[in-house]
């Protein structure tokens, strides 16, 4: 049976939807809030903000993360900045412009109502974070400073050097710690959610494993929020933290939550190029660097000269040439494909030929080294430590890499999934970014979800539903605990010959080759043959040493890789069915004469929400039609 995808988007003019909805949503009386328990899985920006805010409102919150401290969530790695339509620069920005840029940047594959709300709330986020003491960069006169990010012609990105995520997370973390100390939040670090428990169609809790002792436990609640981040690590090599994984959302999918647009993966244009098989992680060089850095390649293939010796007229500043209106700040999907294209033509630089230059010589000449150091000092230092090259003197070498997943669990306007009571926030949901996320918009979305949306919509859910009391002795919890224990036992008993990582690496290669920066029918069909074979081999031959009663990272990874081996297949299926190109999803069969993504609005202006149909069965495709009442669908152009 297919799903009914009701978005619950409020009626009325775009700019009034959220206000109207806030007025119409039911409230929980302050004295009653403490009678409700909400589970938040994840303590990154989306989860940390949600847990702290809901506790501040008076709810009992149980918050979980797999790291040893909430402040180690992957959000800490975010570098470049966070967007907000404050128009401090007086350069023509507005809420509507941020909304429009985001809808267009996502290649018209996101919901108008959600995106407009995001743009509206962006303004509140900055105020909230400043009040918390987040040290955003400031102008000489004390006003907050801004820089530009891709896909925008205004400067609206607020930043704290190249450590914006770290500073924002410290803000959310201190708010969370305050609530932990007050007793409103009970924090469970080093605890991994391994199943979602659904009773009478409603999410009523989770089953976890204590990563230090191995204890499997049930936790009940009246609502569950998953804020568990993105799944870019399905590609093995990505800019994500090594621990980032899909397990929480994947297990929720298998309990009935629809998974939307799984194939929409962002490939970031500016990462340190891959050097070889020894790598298990890639490093991002923030998009903010494209404010001042110029991207180029030598005009002559195989030019091995020191880049500083190559004269101007022998260089191709290909982004400036191809996209004069946006230049080096072309959006990520477009800049990535342009880099791949020149490297495919044999013009790439560096030992592998898969690299292009990002050059700061002009900016240093114009602004002086001090200004560049002030803006990007920590990024330059990181680059030098990794490559042993000094980017103040020699151009950086960069190449696209997997960075972010726009797909995720399907949610309605209230951020609730297709299971009642299951809410999903931050990178874990699919909302707002369509087929391509603009830079500095993930932090904005995670914090809008966590600080401003979910605290209200959870209240509406709780006030509108009469929920029976359940406790952990309920048969549904016992059954889920049994399944978790059995899977753990199965991993340990296979006793095969291959490490978990070797399977993960092989899956990553398949995904990158066939479902990466460009995709075609034959390649996707090959991947759909290879992935089930690899999965079968995994369950036959994986080796997970140690026991389940202690800290066992191979065991943790085995569960995550087992889920990636299933999710990878769904991603390829989604990519195969969407025969149009849109945003980061580039189907080679669907391109304009000059090689840009060619959408097919007639047949694909919808969100693909996949529904689990059971082991060994093909998932069911549900479609949420996208309705555009305010923007006109047009071919995206940055020229």
- Largest distance between two CA atoms of the chain: 74
CB of 510 to ligand FAD, least distance (A): 22
Please say whether the beta carbons of 283 and 271 come within 8 A.
yes
Query: Which CB sits closer to ligand FAD, 101 or 427?
Result: 427
Query: Which CB sits closer to ligand FAD, 169 or 310?
Result: 169
Check binding of 271 to ligand FAD (CB under 6 A).
Answer: no
Site for ligand FAD in 222-261 (CB under 6 A): 227-230, 239-240, 244-245, 247-248
Query: Which CB sits closer to ligand FAD, 328 or 581?
Result: 328
CB of 27 to ligand FAD, least distance (A): 26
Check binding of 125 to ligand FAD (CB under 6 A).
Answer: no
DSSP string across 369-414: HHHHHHHHHHHHHHHHHHHS--TTTS-EEEEEEEEEE--EE---TT
Q: How far apart are CA 244 and CA 45, in angstroms?
A: 14
Instruction: Give just the sign of the alpha carbon dihedral 533, 536, 538, 543.
Output: negative
Query: Which CB sits closer to ligand FAD, 75 or 179?
Result: 75
Q: How far apart are CA 136 and CA 129, in angstroms?
A: 9
Check binding of 427 to ligand FAD (CB under 6 A).
Answer: yes
DSSP string across 92-159: S--HHHHHHHHHHHTTT-S-HHHHHHHHHHHHHHHHHHHHHT----B-TTSPBP-B--TT-SS--EE-
CB of 318 to ligand FAD, least distance (A): 24
Query: Which CB sits closer to ligand FAD, 253 or 296?
Result: 253
Which of 14, 28, 319, 442 is the binder for ligand FAD (CB under 6 A)?
Answer: 442
Helices 164-182/45-57 angle, 10° precision: 30
Size, binding site for ligand FAD by CB under 6 A? 46
Q: How many helices, marked H, and strands, marked E, lie in the chain?
A: 18, 19
SS3 496: coil
Residue 109: other Cβ atoms inside 10 A: 27
Query: Which CB sits closer to ligand FAD, 80 or 508?
Result: 80
Mark 275-304 with x for binding to ligand FAD (rule: CB under 6 A) and - for no binding: ---------x-x------------------
Site for ligand FAD in 174-233 (CB under 6 A): 192-193, 227-230
* Active-site position among 72, 204, 332, 337: 332
Q: Identify whether 138 is a catalytic site residue.
A: no
Please say whether the beta carbons of 493 and 543 come within 8 A.
no
Query: Which CB sits closer to ligand FAD, 78 or 338?
Result: 78
Please say whether the beta carbons of 572 and 531 come within 8 A.
yes
SS3 236: coil
The single-letter DSSP state of residue 325 is T
Site for ligand FAD in 35-74 (CB under 6 A): 41-47, 64-67, 73-74
Query: Which CB sits closer to ligand FAD, 330 or 605?
Result: 330
Site for ligand FAD in 549-608 (CB under 6 A): none
CB of 216 to ligand FAD, least distance (A): 13
Residue 637: other Cβ atoms inside 10 A: 12
Q: How far apart are CA 86 and CA 126, in angstroms?
A: 9
Which of 298, 331, 400, 446 is the binder for ligand FAD (CB under 6 A)?
Answer: 446
Site for ligand FAD in 461-520 (CB under 6 A): none
CB of 64 to ligand FAD, least distance (A): 4
Check binding of 400 to ligand FAD (CB under 6 A).
Answer: no
Q: Annotated catalytic sites, by residue? A: 332
Q: Which residues bind ligand FAD (CB under 6 A)?
A: 41-47, 64-67, 73-75, 77-82, 164-165, 192-193, 227-230, 239-240, 244-245, 247-248, 284, 286, 403-404, 426-428, 440-443, 446
């Amino acid at each position: 049976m297919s799903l009914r995808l009701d978005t619950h988007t409020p009626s009325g003019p775009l700019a009034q939807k959220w206000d109207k909805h806030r007025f119409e949503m039911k409230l929980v009386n302050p004295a009653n809030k403490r009678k409700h328990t909400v589970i938040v899985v994840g303590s990154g920006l989306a989860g940390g903000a949600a847990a702290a805010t809901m506790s501040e409102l008076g709810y009992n919150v149980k918050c979980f993360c797999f790291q040893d401290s909430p402040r180690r969530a992957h959000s800490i790695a975010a570098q470049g900045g966070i967007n907000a339509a404050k128009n401090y620069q007086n350069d023509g920005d507005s809420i509507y412009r941020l909304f429009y840029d985001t809808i267009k940047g996502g290649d018209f594959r996101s919901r108008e109502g959600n995106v407009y709300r995001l743009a509206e709330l962006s303004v509140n986020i900055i105020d909230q974070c400043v009040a918390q003491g987040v040290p955003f960069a400031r102008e000489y006169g004390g006003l907050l400073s801004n820089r530009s990010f891709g896909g925008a012609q205004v400067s609206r990105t607020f930043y704290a050097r190249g450590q914006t995520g770290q500073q924002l997370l410290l803000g959310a973390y201190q708010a969370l710690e305050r609530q932990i100390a007050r007793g409103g939040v009970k924090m469970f670090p080093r605890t991994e959610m391994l199943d979602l428990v659904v009773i009478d169609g409603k999410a009523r809790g989770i089953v976890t494993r204590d990563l230090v002792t191995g204890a499997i436990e049930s936790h009940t609640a009246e609502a569950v929020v998953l804020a568990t981040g993105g799944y870019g690590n399905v590609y093995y090599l990505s800019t994500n933290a090594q621990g980032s994984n899909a397990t929480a959302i994947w297990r929720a999918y298998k309990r009935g939550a629809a998974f939307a647009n799984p194939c929409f993966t962002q490939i970031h244009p500016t990462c340190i190029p891959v050097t070889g098989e020894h790598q298990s992680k890639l490093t991002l060089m923030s998009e903010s660097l494209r404010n001042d850095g110029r991207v180029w390649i030598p005009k002559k293939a195989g030019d091995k000269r020191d880049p500083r010796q190559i004269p101007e007229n022998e260089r191709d500043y290909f982004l400036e040439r191809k996209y004069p209106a946006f230049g080096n700040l072309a959006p990520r999907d477009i800049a990535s494909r342009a880099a791949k294209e020149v490297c495919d033509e044999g013009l790439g630089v560096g030992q592998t030929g898969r690299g292009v230059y990002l050059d700061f010589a002009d900016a240093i000449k114009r602004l002086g080294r001090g200004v560049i150091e002030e803006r990007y000092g920590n990024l330059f230092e990181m680059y030098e430590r990794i490559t042993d090259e000094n980017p103040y003197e020699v151009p950086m070498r960069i190449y696209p890499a997997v960075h972010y997943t726009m797909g995720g669990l399907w949610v309605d306007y209230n951020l609730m999934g297709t299971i009642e009571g299951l809410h999903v926030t931050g990178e874990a949901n699919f909302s707002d970014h369509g087929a391509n996320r603009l830079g500095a918009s993930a932090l904005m979305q995670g914090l809008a979800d966590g600080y401003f949306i979910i605290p209200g919509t959870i209240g509406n859910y709780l006030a509108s539903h009469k929920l029976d009391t359940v406790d952990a002795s309920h048969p549904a919890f016992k059954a889920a605990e049994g399944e978790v224990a059995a899977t753990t036992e199965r991993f340990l008993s296979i006793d095969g010959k291959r490490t978990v990582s070797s399977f993960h690496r092989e899956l990553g290669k398949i995904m990158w080759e066939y479902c990466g920066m460009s995709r075609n029918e034959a390649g996707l069909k090959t991947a759909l043959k290879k992935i089930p074979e690899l999965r079968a081999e995994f369950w036959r031959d994986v080796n997970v040493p140690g026991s389940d009663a202690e800290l066992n990272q191979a065991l943790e990874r085995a569960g995550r890789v087992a889920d990636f081996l299933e999710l990878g297949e769904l991603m390829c299926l989604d990519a195969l069915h969407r025969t149009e190109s849109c945003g980061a999803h580039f189907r080679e069969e669907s391109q304009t004469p000059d090689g840009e993504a060619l959408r097919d609005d007639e047949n694909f202006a919808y969100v693909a929400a996949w529904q689990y149909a059971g082991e060994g069965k093909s998932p069911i495709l549900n479609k949420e039609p996208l309705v555009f009442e305010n923007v006109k669908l047009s071919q995206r152009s940055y020229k």
